[in-house]
Structure 1
């Protein structure tokens, strides 16, 4: 291959991006290039950017259009190499008419990797069915500050939960033949003050023990084939130019063999934002040297600037060879160079465009059923004074649904759903999927109740109180108020949650807390429901509301799931993947803090949460008993075994999540007070039913980065806490490790092993 042909495999082209009418990536319109396909294609093309996720298009017509483009690409270059087509799939395939699943924060709330794997496989099959090869998901960033706008895209604040759920998602996507993409590697979520793309202040130990473990787990266990670098820098080194990160750690140590792709325009940012490259050619060379293989979303630095740098001898051509080899191997693995490869999806073979419209269904009944199941498992009951469930003749005669999310169809969607990400800029286009509002879902759930509604606020972030009088009057005349609060997803300040929609504090947006207080002042019982992208401090409602039900953008079936939890048709089983703060300004907002990160006698601020990580109520009660520790003393290369019995002691079926936390009282470096090292979501238990839960816990799970910068296991006392949440330890096993300090590498054991066995009924 000529130099031009090799370079052509290393970039994408984003056709039609400038017609979107708004940014969907940082500095998008500052970075856009006028691309002449007739000039580019004779050399080949690496990637086609978002053929379905750029503008509304019927899926069948989009698939035929993509196939035509691929034939054009193949015919134009002398080797007949097709392009990879990639799409966003953070909460489902981001295409018009495709199922909008719950956002990743809701996946975390399920504590159910098996279900997430099924969902990802369905998303992957839909991507594959229309000719897409790569999905830009999942996000493995660990939440460090909930004010960050992209919290909704994350799985939670705990690295083990993030790693297990993300690994399952990758396994599902890859099982359908789609190249999954881990992002954002690494440290993006730890920006100062929760501001998007802000500087990151982080020590090496936090980076190694909090940020990296989810990526390591996914690389080792999922079969992932692509990684996307982060926008940010760590200690002055931008990820896109960090050879230690992208080559020495990712490839040489962890053994990753796939492609590293740029976050959109991230290579050019080495010059324009980070100031570590003097020209775009220098930026291209730095990224290639670090280990970036593909420039996305469109050619900027890997075009003429790279060619010029190679001609001048400042960038060696061998770097291009290395990246091109990785890209071509991935295309070969994906079957794009097979002799019988056909860009037209099998279901559309021989179909003309005039007959194709409407023939591809990306939101069929199986998808919706799966979306409903994920949504139902992700609903978290935070508090309940006994008002819920509204079942057995307890449904109020008159229910007032009040709040900015009462009648907003898109209130269930995150910023990377198609209707929000793209559709919001084409309001004349139908949504493409059925999105029942909360009022509609409640009307269907409670057919014998009168449902009345008013917004109270013009929008989620509205500050005007002119609608309060009507809301208060409606509340006083009702038997129950359901406060419909939360976020409006958007991009770069066009919402209250989402990329570039960072929060100054964790108060409810706009005047929502004032509205909530006014509703509680009426004396009518208030059930608070949240359709949100992050946790918020809820003020008086923590103590004074009848109940609080938290959802994190639960997708197209979200309001139906939420209504089902209120009625009792759905039994709540979600657990918090992020802590809910008691006060809007108390930081840190993550439970992963050392002793000095908790309340102390030398500060007047108590950062304790209102509801901690892992918290979630059910409509029943569980007794935990009969703790047995078979191994109380183990070598630093050994393991512990313990067991307990969990019994449903209430009157209705329910699901418990057993969480295992490790507390290390004395360590050579400061440790979090506790950290999650394992969990198991139990099968639903009937009243009186019990299971015996057994856990084998390898000593490797007690490892951390020591003073010398290497991961070690130290001898000493430990506590293994079997807990219902990070704030609810129920049974504590006091154990100890003996022997020498042991250094562990990247082949250490990553999981506790759980088994469950049915027990006799009480």
Structure 2
């Protein structure tokens, strides 16, 4: 109608939303805050942490009379083929639009942490592998490919990436993190966000904030965080992804920080996220997080109280399905217990996002017919990222493989699922359908290595159980004794809530290898046959006493559907290893938390009997060649609002081409608060032919030396800053310093967050 301004696509979003809100009843506004899980799991089938005592949501036809905010995982809850899923989503959207008097459809969301999480879709490497690549451009390209596939299927929002910084490797969801350095997480995560958003798909930053800092590395446990660590470590990746990535959605953390659950924390979701960081998008709840305010945290006595807390804090949408933001919310608004302006605020944000997505306009239901969720171009991206993410930790010369008689043993030697993390469809969902295929071709290491070494005599003695049996050990030892070289494949089986050794709810008590894998490794090593350890894991494991006896060690973090060919190509020498550790590999099984970001008092010293030094440090990774560093140049000084130029030459000293990840670290030897001994300030990937060199230049703004001071304001202090450049956080051959001069500066939300790097070929 002519007087319905909200239908006029030429008007500003704010005017359209204000007009629409003015026409809505309380029930209709609340309807925009609800999600609905149309294909819910059956009893006992866990695809999310599910509270059992809140009852089932009302039928969809009843819910949609007042409108609906989101449709939950139409593709990702049960196996459907692309065309079937698209038809189902189209039918549901038609019902939603027809069911409310404004004809407004829902936002459809899906998981996409390792690709579009639906049956037959490409399975990409897990986020730890993204971090290991140190290649934000490739990660962004992957994200764009994932998002393009999702948009064609009618999906509007992806629940990724995870920007939690790795703090304790025992946490089951370590595989979902990008690494233990906030700058690495922020840069890689921002590239992923930008890749999604540039296609029109809404990226969702999670879990805001502090989830990975839980006590004892227990899933959903309280987070042990002070305000300075929260600001300088936990928060930094979110700031980067909001500003550089342009994310339009944020998801809350399950954890409480200092007794306040994130879903009920107004100072976090409104004061910090919106008022200080300027976020204007939509905050969606993690699944059942509102119900958990009552059921788990005990800060609400009813669904209505939970709704009041969450709405006031700044949660705009309840996911995955309506519980608290339905009738309990409406009743409390009508009674005056919840200000209607809180309801208007949240509904307005949801409607603004729908407007941005074209869901308030005619023609919103035009969706391409998807035919193939695993096309060659996406498999190619999965292969490239898998290849770049494999890390060669150690090598005494046995690699590349030249032996004629090779034994491949271990529990993951011939298991395609060894390539898959928790947030992949075959692991997350398809396990409930044992008769179902994986949906995409996923080679196992045995087949890939056989194809890679056609002239070798390959004997496969694959174990039957990731926890390892006596029979597994006996078979592996026998195969190793008869071989010139043994490849021993160890690691994790991803799962959910205790049904795996890695994944959501699969936390570890120690960092020892799962089950009897260490015993298996020691038995194989005792044969005297040179042994290559291949680790397919979702976290770093303690390898002291094992890695130092192995001929070589290769680490892959759940490398996806093309992981086995990538591993085999590196073992054979066809590919150059170029991955670097995004997390440190501990020496001892009790060496947690063991990230490299620690103060001097956390280092090895005579004051403690515990040596926390990593076996393989953050940033470490070998290649088939070696690199030399020379000619460090550092500007002598800059004002506290200026920029310092750091330049270095890196040269390929070997006879093979290779890629070096040149890493820049800073240190603040005298500061007003305790600072880490060093932190990653920037990096650059340089691929060099034998004998070739490149000049790598970093532009370091003074803001990259900032930290949260004693008064909890972020400051840049004048003084000396130390510089170190090299190939890992411990291998830093070139060192220098510069002085920051002038007054102390207090920074705002517009501070400089990144360090640009350029790579120029030289002689």
For 2:371, which of 345, 354, 360 is the aligned residue?
Answer: 360
Q: What's the CA shift string for 1:176-212, capped at 9, x where partnerless?
A: 1110000000000000111101111111000010000
Report the equivalent of 1:268.
291
Kept after mapping to 1: 8 A contact 2:72/2:108: yes
For 2:719, which of 713, 716, 720 is the aligned residue?
Answer: 716
Rounded Cα–Cα distance in structure 2 between residues aligned with 1:47 and 1:210 = 32
1:7-86 matches, within 5 Å, as 7-19=30-42, 21-31=44-54, 33-86=56-109
For 1:295, which of 307, 318, 325 is the aligned residue?
Answer: 318
Rounded Cα–Cα distance in structure 1 between residues aligned with 2:458 and 2:506 = 33
SS in 2 for 1:619: coil
Kept after mapping to 1: 8 A contact 2:57/2:323: no
Q: Any stretches of 5+ residues in structure 2 without a counterpart?
A: 1-23
Rounded Cα–Cα distance in structure 2 between residues aligned with 1:341 and 1:694 = 47
Report the equivalent of 1:6.
29
SS in 2 for 1:267: helix
Rounded Cα–Cα distance in structure 2 between residues aligned with 1:721 and 1:33 = 57
For 1:375, which of 374, 377, 386 is the aligned residue?
Answer: 386
Kept after mapping to 2: 8 A contact 1:643/1:695: yes
SS in 2 for 1:500: coil
Cα 1:113–1:650 shift into 2, 3 Å: same
Kept after mapping to 2: 8 A contact 1:14/1:297: yes
Kept after mapping to 2: 8 A contact 1:653/1:686: yes
Q: Please state if 1:95 is matched with 2:109.
A: no
Rounded Cα–Cα distance in structure 1 between residues aligned with 2:675 and 2:246 = 31
Cα drift, residue 473 of structure 1? 1.0
Q: What's the CA shift string for 1:719-759, capped at 9, x where partnerless?
A: 11112111111211221112222111111111222112111
Q: What's the CA shift string for 1:473-504, capped at 9, x where partnerless?
A: 11100111100100000000000000000000
Rounded Cα–Cα distance in structure 2 between residues aligned with 1:538 and 1:341 = 54
Report the equivalent of 1:424.
431
Rounded Cα–Cα distance in structure 1 between residues aligned with 2:204 and 2:474 = 49
Q: What's the CA shift string for 1:450-479, capped at 9, x where partnerless?
A: 2212234x32234x3233222211110011
Report the equivalent of 2:554.
549
Cα drift, residue 437 of structure 1? 0.6
Rounded Cα–Cα distance in structure 1 between residues aligned with 2:461 and 2:40 = 38
Question: Which deviates the most, 750-759 or 422-431?
Answer: 750-759
SS in 1 for 2:757: strand
Kept after mapping to 1: 8 A contact 2:136/2:188: yes
Question: Which deviates the most, 418-427 or 727-736?
Answer: 727-736
Kept after mapping to 2: 8 A contact 1:486/1:530: yes
Kept after mapping to 1: 8 A contact 2:57/2:321: no
Rounded Cα–Cα distance in structure 1 between residues aligned with 2:484 and 2:101 = 73
Report the equivalent of 2:619.
614
Kept after mapping to 2: 8 A contact 1:660/1:679: yes
Rounded Cα–Cα distance in structure 1 between residues aligned with 2:311 and 2:344 = 10
1:734-745 matches, within 5 Å, as 734-745=737-748
Cα drift, residue 19 of structure 1? 2.7
Cα drift, residue 307 of structure 1? 1.7
Report the equivalent of 1:599.
604
Report the equivalent of 1:139.
162
1:416-495 matches, within 5 Å, as 416-456=423-463, 458-462=464-468, 464-495=469-500
Rounded Cα–Cα distance in structure 1 between residues aligned with 2:605 and 2:101 = 69
1:462-541 matches, within 5 Å, as 462=468, 464-541=469-546
1:718-757 matches, within 5 Å, as 718-757=721-760
Rounded Cα–Cα distance in structure 1 between residues aligned with 2:270 and 2:503 = 30
Report the equivalent of 2:659.
655
Rounded Cα–Cα distance in structure 2 between residues aligned with 1:467 and 1:108 = 33
Rounded Cα–Cα distance in structure 2 between residues aligned with 1:209 and 1:32 = 41
Report the equivalent of 1:646.
650
Question: Which deviates the most, 14-23 or 533-542?
Answer: 14-23
Report the equivalent of 1:355.
none
For 1:230, which of 235, 240, 253 is the aligned residue?
Answer: 253
Report the equivalent of 1:354.
none
Rounded Cα–Cα distance in structure 2 between residues aligned with 1:363 and 1:467 = 35
Kept after mapping to 2: 8 A contact 1:513/1:539: no
Cα drift, residue 30 of structure 1? 4.5
Report the equivalent of 2:421.
414
For 1:405, which of 394, 406, 412 is the aligned residue?
Answer: 412
1:238-317 matches, within 5 Å, as 238-317=261-340
1:103-118 matches, within 5 Å, as 103-118=126-141
Kept after mapping to 2: 8 A contact 1:383/1:548: yes
SS in 2 for 1:609: coil
Report the equivalent of 2:244.
221
Report the equivalent of 1:389.
400
Question: Which deviates the most, 720-729 or 574-583?
Answer: 720-729
Q: What's the CA shift string for 1:691-720, capped at 9, x where partnerless?
A: 111111111111000001101111111111
Kept after mapping to 1: 8 A contact 2:603/2:612: yes
Rounded Cα–Cα distance in structure 1 between residues aligned with 2:718 and 2:307 = 47
Cα drift, residue 31 of structure 1? 4.8
Rounded Cα–Cα distance in structure 2 between residues aligned with 1:538 and 1:615 = 15
1:667-746 matches, within 5 Å, as 667-682=671-686, 684-746=687-749
Q: How many positions carry a matched residue from both structures? A: 740
Cα 1:399–1:30 shift into 2, 3 Å: farther
Structure 1 outlier segments of 4+, above 4 Å:
28-32
Kept after mapping to 2: 8 A contact 1:150/1:497: yes
Report the equivalent of 2:146.
123
Rounded Cα–Cα distance in structure 2 between residues aligned with 1:229 and 1:32 = 23
- Root-mean-square deviation (Å): 1.1
Report the equivalent of 1:198.
221
SS in 2 for 1:401: strand
Kept after mapping to 2: 8 A contact 1:588/1:597: no
Kept after mapping to 2: 8 A contact 1:18/1:29: no
Report the equivalent of 1:356.
none
TM value normalised by structure 2: 0.96
Kept after mapping to 1: 8 A contact 2:544/2:615: no
Kept after mapping to 2: 8 A contact 1:660/1:722: yes
SS in 2 for 1:645: strand
TM value normalised by structure 1: 0.96
Rounded Cα–Cα distance in structure 1 between residues aligned with 2:642 and 2:87 = 57
Rounded Cα–Cα distance in structure 2 between residues aligned with 1:712 and 1:52 = 47
